[in-house]
Structure 1
Amino acid sequence: MSATDLADVEYVVHSLAQTAVDREKEFGDLDAVVGDGDLGYSLARGFEKVLADWDSFKRDDVATFLQQIALAISSRIGGTSGPLWGTAFLRASAAAKTIDAIDGAAVVAMLRGATDGIKARGNADLGDKTLLDALIPATDELERQLQAGASPEECRAEFAKKTRECADATSSLQAKRGRASYSGERSIGSPDAGAVAVAIIVEGIVADWP
């Protein structure tokens, strides 16, 4: 696995972490509409730990690096966010262990690992009004773009576009998981905070791609 592969993964994780910290209030406000409002706080606390420990993470390979991130997040984030995001990074790490190079297919495999982990840990699936409703269709779209021979730039752009479209579309769903599910039908009409947060994170990653 090349140094470029690791550098790309480092960029993605650092961008994600920085966005989570910088947009803490916005993510919290989104979550407060029908949830308990702690999403912004939880993500910011976990990912500021990632940023603080950044130079100490082992970088033997992508799998090891992602495992270190998972441990940092899990040790810091409370509530439901910690286990879910920690599991996502652990599953992505496991997928990376079977990969020789971080190409488009590898990214899809790591994303599939992450979403499968979130499904299992959160007992959630498509249609439950969670971040999965943005991330799974976006991963499907990325795979379609790769199979169609799209360039890396086109793949990233379409992935971000689909993530945003699907995050916004969660407004029509009724929440079935998390604190928002207590709101019942009142959760219809507002997008899922986790899905929107993922869209914002992905848009930032793509916009500033080195």
Structure 2
Amino acid sequence: MTATDLADVEYVVRTLAATAVEKEKEFGDLDAVVGDGDLGYSLARGFEKVLTDWDSLKRDDVATFLQQIALVISSRIGGTSGPLWGTAFLRASAAAKAVDTIDGTAVVAMLRGATDGIKTRGNADLGDKTLLDALVPATDELERQIAAGASPEECRKAFAAKTRECADATSKLEAKRGRASYSGERSIGSPDAGAVAVAILIERIVADWP
């Protein structure tokens, strides 16, 4: 792994963490519409710990760094969010370990690993009205952009735009997982809080890209 690879991954994780803390109330309000409202609090506490421990995290390579993030999050975030986000980072770490360079193809593999981990850990799939309904199609779009020869900037913008489009589209779905599923058909008409939160996080990462 190059120093640039690690710097880019550090930027993504640090921006994600800072935004999760900053948006605690907004994410909580989104989740309170049909869920239990703890999404903002859970993410903020987990990523707050990431920021606190930032300088002490091991950085032997990208895989090790992401594994460290997974451990911090899993030990800090309560409810269902901790295991899901922890698993996502752990699977992304495993994908990073299998490559020599973090290029576009490697990023797709890391995202696939993360979403597959969330599917397994959360017993969820596309159509269940979760963050998967935003992140999986966005990863598909990123892969298409890379295959078409788009520039890194174009790929990032397309990824963010697709995540937002699909997050907003979850308002048409009925929740099948999590506390929102207790609302049944009443969950139709409101987007999934986790999906929208992911869209906001990715939009910030792309907008502030160094």
Q: TM-score, normalised by structure 2?
A: 1.00
CA drift at 1:134: 0.3
Equivalent residue letter for 1:76: R
CA RMSD, 1 decimal: 0.2
Q: Deviations over 1:104-143 (max 9, x none)?
A: 0000000000000000000000000000000000000000
Which blocks of at least 5 consecutive residues in structure 2 are unaligned?
Answer: none
- Aligned partner of 2:104 in structure 1 is 104
Secondary structure, in 3 states, of the residue corresponding to 2:115? helix
Q: Deviations over 1:167-191 (max 9, x none)?
A: 0000000000000000000000000
CA drift at 1:144: 0.1
CA drift at 1:64: 0.1
CA drift at 1:192: 0.1
CA drift at 1:79: 0.2
CA drift at 1:62: 0.2
**What does 1:32-51 correspond to in 2, within 5 Å?**
32-51=32-51
Equivalent residue letter for 1:198: V
**What does 1:24-35 correspond to in 2, within 5 Å?**
24-35=24-35
- Aligned partner of 1:5 in structure 2 is 5
Equivalent residue letter for 1:121: R
The separation in 2 between residues aligned to 1:26 and 1:118, in whole angstroms, is: 23
2:176 corresponds to 1:176 = yes
CA drift at 1:18: 0.4
Secondary structure, in 3 states, of the residue corresponding to 1:190? coil
2:140 corresponds to 1:140 = yes
- Aligned partner of 2:118 in structure 1 is 118
Secondary structure, in 3 states, of the residue corresponding to 1:73? helix
- Aligned partner of 2:157 in structure 1 is 157
CA drift at 1:194: 0.1
Equivalent residue letter for 2:151: S
- Aligned partner of 1:16 in structure 2 is 16
- Aligned partner of 2:66 in structure 1 is 66
Paired residues, what number? Answer: 210
- Aligned partner of 1:85 in structure 2 is 85
The separation in 1 between residues aligned to 2:126 and 2:17, in whole angstroms, is: 25
Secondary structure, in 3 states, of the residue corresponding to 2:111? helix
The separation in 2 between residues aligned to 1:151 and 1:118, in whole angstroms, is: 29
Which blocks of at least 5 consecutive residues in structure 1 are unaligned?
Answer: none
The separation in 2 between residues aligned to 1:146 and 1:208, in whole angstroms, is: 21
CA drift at 1:24: 0.1
The separation in 1 between residues aligned to 2:163 and 2:15, in whole angstroms, is: 16
Q: Deviations over 1:29-66 (max 9, x none)?
A: 00000000000000000000000000000000000000
CA drift at 1:208: 0.2
- Aligned partner of 1:196 in structure 2 is 196
Secondary structure, in 3 states, of the residue corresponding to 1:189? coil
Equivalent residue letter for 2:158: E
CA drift at 1:196: 0.1
The separation in 2 between residues aligned to 1:103 and 1:77, in whole angstroms, is: 30
The separation in 2 between residues aligned to 1:51 and 1:160, in whole angstroms, is: 24
Instruction: Give identity over the alignment, percent.
Output: 88
CA drift at 1:81: 0.1
The separation in 1 between residues aligned to 2:99 and 2:176, in whole angstroms, is: 35
